[in-house]
Structure 1
Amino acid sequence: MNKSRKVGKYEVGRMVGEGTFGKVKFARNCETGESVAMKILAKSTILKHRMVDQIKREISIMKIVRHPNIVRLHEVLAGRAKIFIILEFVTGGELFDKIVHRGKLPENESRKYFQQLVDAVAHCHSKGVYHRDLKPENLLLDAYGNLKVSDFGLSALPLQQGDGLLRTTCGTPNYVAPEVLGDQGYDGAAADIWSCGVILYVLMAGYLPFDETNLYTLYSKITAAEFSCPYWFSPEANKLIQKILDPNPKTRIRIDGIRNDPWFKKNYAPVKYREDEEVSLDDVRAVFEDIEDQYIAERSEIKDGGPLLMNAFEMITLSQGLNLSALFDRRQDYVNRQTRFVSRKPAQVIISNVEAVAESMSLKVHTRNYKTRLEGISANRTGQFAVVLEVYEVAPSLFMVDVRKAAGDTLEYHKFYKNFCAKLEDIIWNPIEGTG
C-alpha cells in the first residue's frame, strides 16, 4: 500500500488541476481533519519568469483580507524546490452556476448574497485592497450557501501612482466601471462598487444590464450607463441599482450609502468575526527569503502601447488547468468557460496569427489594444457565437492569451477552443518541451 505524501501537517491527496505554472491538489490537515486546496508552485518557474515580488505581494494580500465571506489563504509552506499555498476548500460551486441553472433569483435571496458581497468588499477596502474583477464566476458558495469572494489575482494596493489612482484596465468588460475603460486613472473603491451593482442586477434579472455582441457598442452603453431594470424589480431595488450604476464615480453611491439604504438593510445580519485577528506574514517572508537570495531585479516597466502586464498571481491561479473552479465541481468532464495559453512570440505576432486563423474559420475579427473579438454563427445556426481573446505580458518575452466565451453554447466553445489551439500550435509555448 502506498504511503500517502505529507507536506508539513497536510496529507496530500489527488491532483485536481495541472497547468503551465503548477498544480492544485486536495489535501487534509492531519491535526484538524479539515479539507484544504493546496496550490504547488515550482521555485524555478517563479525565478525563471522573474515573478518573486509580484507573487509575494499577492500572497500577502490574500492573507491580509481575512473575512468570513472571502476565500481564506491559511498559510504558505516551502520545500527545497517548491512553494505550497494552502487555501480554504469551498464546496458549494460558483454563484454563476446557480443563475445558469435557475435563471433569476428571488429578490430576498439576491439581497442576501449582495449583503455578503458588500461586506466582503468593504473589508477589502478597509485594508486598502481593491479586487477589480468582481463577477459571479469569482463568487463561490460554501456548503451552507454563504458567499465567498475568490480570485484576488487582479487586486491592487492603493497609491501605485503619485495621485493614488489605479491605471491598469482589467476585469471582465460587462462588469467593468466606465472610468476603468478610460485612460485617466480611477478610484479602485468606486470601480468595485459599480461591479457589485452589475452583479446585483444579474442575480435579480438573470441577465446582464450591459450585454452587446459589439465591443464598441458595449463600451458606449457602459459609459452612458444606458440600461433599464425589468418590471419585476421592486421600486426600492431599482432605486438603489440606479445609484450604484452611476457613470460618474464622484457621485456614485459609496459603501456607507449602500449599507444605509432601506432596501439593503432589510433582513441584514452582518456576519460576526474577529476584526482584530492578527495576521502574520512571517511564513510568506520565510518562504521567499531563500528565493530572494538568488533573485535578480525584475524588469517591471510597461512598454508604451504594449499589452497589459498581467498580475502574476492571477496568471498562476487561473492558468489553464489551474482554474480553481475545478476544485468546486467533482465532475471530471467539467468544462471551463475561460481558457488560456502561453506564448513566447511577440504580442503583435500572436495577434496576427489569431486573426489569420479566425479568418480561415470564417469568423469576423475586431482587434483593439491587444484585445480581439471573434464572431460567428453558432453551429446549430440558432444564434451568435463570440469569443474574446486578450494578450497580457506576464514576464519579459512571455505572454499569456486569455480566451473567454462571450456568447454561445459552452460545449460548442470548448470544441472551438481545442480546434483553434490546434491551428495555433506554432505560437503556443509548451514549457515541458521548451518549444515555441
Structure 2
Amino acid sequence: MVPENPRNIIFNKYEMGRVLGQGNFAKVYHGRNLATNENVAIKVIKKEKLKKDRLVKQIKREVSVMRLVRHPHIVELKEVMATKGKIFLVMEYVKGGELFTKVNKGKLNEDDARKYFQQLISAVDFCHSRGVTHRDLKPENLLLDENEDLKVSDFGLSALPEQRRDDGMLVTPCGTPAYVAPEVLKKKGYDGSKADIWSCGVILYALLSGYLPFQGENVMRIYRKAFKAEYEFPEWISPQAKNLISNLLVADPEKRYSIPEIISDPWFQYGFMRPLAFSMKESAVGEDSTIDHFGGEEEEVPELVAAMGKPARPFYNAFEIISSLSHGFDLRSLFETRKRSPSMFISKYSASAVVAKLEGMAKKLNFRVTGKKEFTVRMQGMKEGRKGKLAMTMEVFEVAPEVAVVEFSKSAGDTLEYVKFCEEQVRPSLKDIVWSWQGDSN
C-alpha cells in the first residue's frame, strides 16, 4: 500500500515519518522500508551544513566505521544515499531507548549489569579487531532494542587506523569528561583501545552503583580524581565485580586490563556467550547501486537507480576513477553503496595481466590462492595471526584494454595486521604494475 503523501517517500524506497531526534547538523526520522515494511531510522544531513562547519571528515569517518563494524550489538548502517543537497543514512531502528535512562533511575542488579557489560565488551572487542576505537563510550550512546539487548551507537568521534601516528598512538583529545581516560588529556599520545576500556570501566561502575565514580563541582575536579583513579565502591557491589572494576579504572593504561583479560575474568565469564558477528556480505551497503542526481530544488527527491546486474568483466566509470584519486571534497564514499576496500590502485596493464601478477605475488608472499573466478583472486596466509589466518580478496575492474582498477579487501584476520601487510608486503610487490595508489599524490 503506497502512502497518500508522496512527499514523504524518498528514493521510491522509504517512507519518512516523525522526527526521532535532532542534532546540530542532522535530523533523525522514523522510516519504513516500503518493500519489506521494516522500521528504520533515517539520519538526514545537509551537505551545506557539513561544509560550513567543517564536519565532512567526521561524517565520512562515521560512515566508514559503521561499514566496518557489522555486529549484533552495534547499530547497523543499512544504506547510504544522497541528493544534491542532502545525505541520507538509513540505519537500524532501535526503539528501546538509551541505557542512560535505566541508569538514571538507579542501580541495576548484577545480572542485568553483567549482561549489558558482556554485550558492550563483545562489540568493543569487534571494533578493536578491525582497528576502530569508539572514543565516546557512555550510557547515552548505548541503545536497547525490543529484546533489551544492547546496541552501541554514535561513531562520530571514532578513530580508524590511518589516524594513528607512526607509533600507533592517537593525539586528538575527545570524549565526555566523566568517561574519558586520563591519558587522553595528557597530550602525549594515547592508545585508543585502552582508552575505550577505561570508559567501559566507568560504565560498569555506573550500572552497578547508579552514579559515576568520578564526581565534582566542575570538570577539573572530575579530571583530578580520574588522574589518580580516586573513587570509592558502594557496599552493595560484590567483591568479584569490585575486582574487575579495580582492574579497569587504572590510571596507568599499561596496567589496565586488556579485553582478553576482561573476558577471562570470573565475574564476566558467568553466563557469557560470545555472539557471532554478521557477515559483511549481507549488508545492503555493499550492493551495487548508483544515485541519479536530478536538477532543481533539493526537496526534489531523485530515484535510486539500482544496477541491473554485473557483467562478466566489471567496469569502473570515469567519475569513480577521478574521485578515487582526489584529495578534495569528495562525498563519493558517502552516497555510493558499493563496498569500498582499504586499498585500491590503477594499473596501465590489462585485467588479465594484473590477475597473473596477483597470483604470482601470492606465491611469492607464501599465500595460498583459495578461490579464483574471472578477474577475482582470493588468497590466505599460512600463519596464524591475532584473529586467525589473514585472508584477502582482490578484484580487478577493466576500464580500458590497457587500464585496470584493482580493489583489495580483507576477508579474514586482524585489521591492523592486514593494513601492515598491505603497506609492507603488497605495495612493494606490485610496484612494477601500479600507475597510482588511491590517495597518493599525482
Please tell me the TM-score bracket, short chain as reference.
Answer: 0.5 to 0.7
What CA deviation, in whole Å up to 9, does each residue of 1:169-222 have, x standing for no partner?
111111111111211110001000010011001000111111111333322211
| 2:10 match | 7
Change (3 A) 1:283 1:57: farther
| 1:374 match | none
Report if aligned partners of 1:37, 1:88 keep a CA contact under 8 Å in 2.
yes
Report if aligned partners of 2:139, 2:203 keep a CA contact under 8 Å in 1.
yes
Change (3 A) 1:276 1:81: closer
RMSD of aligned Cα (Å) = 2.8
In structure 2, give the amino acid aligned to 1:117. L
Gaps of 5+ in 2: 294-318, 335-442
| 2:275 match | 271
**1:159 to partner: Cα distance:** 4.4
1:67 aligns with 2:71: yes
Pick from 218, 221, 234 the counterpart of residue 222 of structure 2. 218
Change (3 A) 1:217 1:62: same
Q: How many residues align?
A: 297
Report if aligned partners of 1:130, 1:156 keep a CA contact under 8 Å in 2.
yes
**1:55 to partner: Cα distance:** 2.4
Pick from 248, 251, 258 the counterpart of residue 247 of structure 1. 251
Look up the SS of the partner of 2:136 in the other structure. coil
Pick from 204, 207, 221 the counterpart of residue 203 of structure 1. 207
Work out the CA distance in 2 between the residues paired with 1:242 and 1:232. 15
Work out the CA distance in 1 between the residues paired with 2:21 and 2:100. 21
**1:277 to partner: Cα distance:** 4.3
Report if aligned partners of 2:33, 2:39 keep a CA contact under 8 Å in 1.
yes
**1:39 to partner: Cα distance:** 1.3
Work out the CA distance in 1 between the residues paired with 2:262 and 2:83. 46
Pick from 112, 115, 118 the counterpart of residue 115 of structure 1. 118
1:125 aligns with 2:128: yes
Work out the CA distance in 2 between the residues paired with 1:43 and 1:284. 23
| 1:24 match | 28
Work out the CA distance in 2 between the residues paired with 1:57 and 1:141. 24
Work out the CA distance in 1 between the residues paired with 2:226 and 2:275. 33
Work out the CA distance in 1 between the residues paired with 2:234 and 2:113. 15
| 1:57 match | 61
Change (3 A) 1:250 1:39: same
Query: Percent identity of the aligned residues?
Result: 51
Look up the SS of the partner of 2:143 in the other structure. strand
What CA deviation, in whole Å up to 9, does each residue of 1:217-268 have, x standing for no partner?
3222111111122211111111111111111111111000000111100011
Report if aligned partners of 1:52, 1:292 keep a CA contact under 8 Å in 2.
no
**1:47 to partner: Cα distance:** 4.1
| 2:89 match | 85
What CA deviation, in whole Å up to 9, does each residue of 1:96-145 have, x standing for no partner?
111222x1111111101100000010011011110011111111110110
| 1:354 match | none
**1:23 to partner: Cα distance:** 2.8
Report if aligned partners of 2:61, 2:156 keep a CA contact under 8 Å in 1.
no
Higher relative CO (Cα under 8 Å, sequence separation at least 6) belongs to: 1
1:105 aligns with 2:108: yes
Work out the CA distance in 2 between the residues paired with 1:278 and 1:2. 32
Work out the CA distance in 1 between the residues paired with 2:272 and 2:45. 40
**1:275 to partner: Cα distance:** 4.9
| 1:179 match | 183
Look up the SS of the partner of 2:161 in the other structure. coil
| 2:192 match | 188
**1:49 to partner: Cα distance:** 4.6
TM-score w.r.t. the length of structure 2 is 0.62
Change (3 A) 1:263 1:69: same
In structure 2, give the amino acid aligned to 1:270. R
1:43 aligns with 2:34: no
1:168 aligns with 2:172: yes
Report if aligned partners of 1:77, 1:283 keep a CA contact under 8 Å in 2.
no
Work out the CA distance in 1 between the residues paired with 2:253 and 2:28. 38
Gaps of 5+ in 1: 299-312, 314-436
TM-score w.r.t. the length of structure 1 is 0.63
What CA deviation, in whole Å up to 9, does each residue of 1:15-64 have, x standing for no partner?
34455534322110112111111112223333445544442232111121
Report if aligned partners of 1:159, 1:165 keep a CA contact under 8 Å in 2.
no
Work out the CA distance in 2 between the residues paired with 1:198 and 1:50. 31
Change (3 A) 1:239 1:18: closer
